[in-house]
Amino acid sequence: MSEKISQLKGLGPKTEKYLNNIGIFTRADLEAVGAVPAYLKLIESGQTIPHLSFLYALVGALEDRSWLDIANNEKERLLYELEGLEELRKLEQSE
For 5-94, CATH number? 1.10.150.20
Residue 90 to residue 67: CA distance in whole angstroms: 28
pLDDT digits (tens, 9 = 90+) for 8-63: 999 999 999 999 999 999 999 999 999 999 999 998 898 877 789 999 999 999 99
- The reported pLDDT for the residue numbered 87 is 84
* Burial per residue of 56-81, b for 16 or more beta-carbon CB atoms within 10 angstroms, e otherwise: bbbbbbbeebebeebbeebeeebeeb
Residues in the chain: 95
Nearest residue to 82 (alpha-carbon basis) of 56, 47, 45: 56
Cross-strand partners of 4: 26
Q: Are 74 and 59 in contact (CB under 8 A)?
A: yes
